[in-house]
Amino acid sequence: MLLFLVVPPLIIFMELMYYLTYGKSELPPVLIKRIEIVYIGIVPAIFLSTNETYNNCCSESAFFSPDHSLTIYFMIWMCIISYFYCSWRINTAPPLLELIINCLLLISIAVNLFIALHHNEKELSSTVHITILLLNILVLIKNQKLFIDESGLSEKNIKSNIERLAWRVLHLNIFKKFPLLILICFPLLVLLGLFLLLFGQKPDSAIRAFTDTYKHGLSELNDQCLNVVCPGPGTHFLCSIAANGNKNLVKPLRLGQRAGKKIVCNRQLLISNAFEELLQQRLPFIHKPVRGFYNKIGNLIHRYYGVFNYKWVSNMIYILMKPLEWFFLLVLYVVDKKPENRIASQYIDKNEM
């Protein structure tokens, strides 16, 4: 594992420094090719093929938003194809195509940085991303030298204005060329976005592919997991979902603690948990089969809980649970000496009591 983490980025860094200094490669091409195949081809392919296809609060969740993943998948594969074309080719492409390819390599760097920020497994992912970053920079620099060395086409012989503009950009020195290429990336991304609109993607899908996720570095939907109930003892699936309904209807009271996580508590949820606590204390032989049956309901809910992100669904569950809430409250007041104390103590961190 140490060799996998340290050696490849070190090799590519040494090759990059040598190429910048002497304008030629020092290491055997076969060694560089093998690293390219692993880090640009195999690792991204494995990563994309193992990505979850739905957001999940209770276990592994989609790395890219399922609704917007096509955009990011398309961009990644375009960048991979562009990289291998540049690395394995013999001659340069026509000016306009060469310009697009270089822009895709810059987009690859940007996407790689976003994925690195989105990752949670820092040690392994950082090494992979550093290697990919260095490889893209190395190929960009080689492209610059290759085009300058091999471009025998005179600007006067180019008839198309667009081709002539591309030729001029590619002939700039590296400090002027790369900032200009970065600017050209934006209209290229717009064109890619317009193309992907045909496949149901949105103009901002490249961003939302990262933000519309749970539990990752750039995720912005973590709050939707606050009241998602995962299978396990002591959970109230339906009441927890109902507590996520319209605030004017379900009337959330406070945040609570369950299994070390914050949840939204309303009176219905507190009453239901207080009733279960009472049942467990007074009639444990009844509580066990009831809890087992309710856990089966919870497992079904867990599989399809994305449906319960809609407020109107939570509102309906809250209303349907009302008769049970009244029954639970009646039992608590009949059996328990201090029912309100029991209700108020639910989902409170024991360290705070």
Backbone angles phi, psi at 152, to 5 degrees: -95, 0
For the ranges 123-132, 147-156, 246-255, 265-274, the lowest mean pLDDT is seen at: 147-156
DSSP, collapsed to helix, strand or coil, labels residue 128 as helix
What value does the mean pLDDT of the chain take? 81
pLDDT one-digit tens code per residue, 23-36? 888 888 899 999 99
DSSP, collapsed to helix, strand or coil, labels residue 253 as strand
For the chain, the maximum distance between any two Cα atoms, rounded to a whole number of angstroms, is 97
Of 98 and 310, which is predicted with more confidence? 98
Which element (helix H / strand E) includes 205?
helix 205-211
* Amino acid 231: pLDDT: 46
Buried b (16+ CB within 10 A) or exposed e, 238-269: bbbbbbbbeeeebeeeeebebeeeebbbbebb
Q: Any residues with CB less than 8 A from the CB of 279 and at least 6 apart, and which?
A: 286, 287, 290
Q: Does pLDDT of 169 surpass 90?
A: no
Query: Which candidate, 56, 342, 69, 62, places its Cα nearest to that of 224?
Result: 56
DSSP, collapsed to helix, strand or coil, labels residue 99 as helix
d(CA 97, CA 284) in angstroms, rounded, equals 73
Q: Does pLDDT of 325 surpass 80?
A: yes
Region of residue 28 (phi > 0: left; psi between -120 and 50: alpha; otherwise: beta): beta
State the average pLDDT over residues 75-91: 92
d(CA 148, CA 146) in angstroms, rounded, equals 6
Region of residue 234 (phi > 0: left; psi between -120 and 50: alpha; otherwise: beta): left
Of 338 and 241, which is predicted with more confidence? 338
State the average pLDDT over residues 98-118: 93
pLDDT above 90 covers a percentage of the chain that reads: 28
* Amino acid 251: pLDDT: 82
Is-contact 245 318, C-beta < 8 A? yes
For the ranges 142-146, 252-256, 298-302, 314-318, the lowest mean pLDDT is seen at: 298-302
Buried b (16+ CB within 10 A) or exposed e, 128-142: bbbbbbbbbbbbbbb
Q: Which of 57-71, 194-208, 289-303 ranks highest by mean pLDDT?
A: 194-208
pLDDT one-digit tens code per residue, 40-67? 999 898 888 877 677 766 667 788 988 8
d(CA 266, CA 227) in angstroms, rounded, equals 11
DSSP, collapsed to helix, strand or coil, labels residue 246 as coil
* Amino acid 273: pLDDT: 84
* Amino acid 305: pLDDT: 56
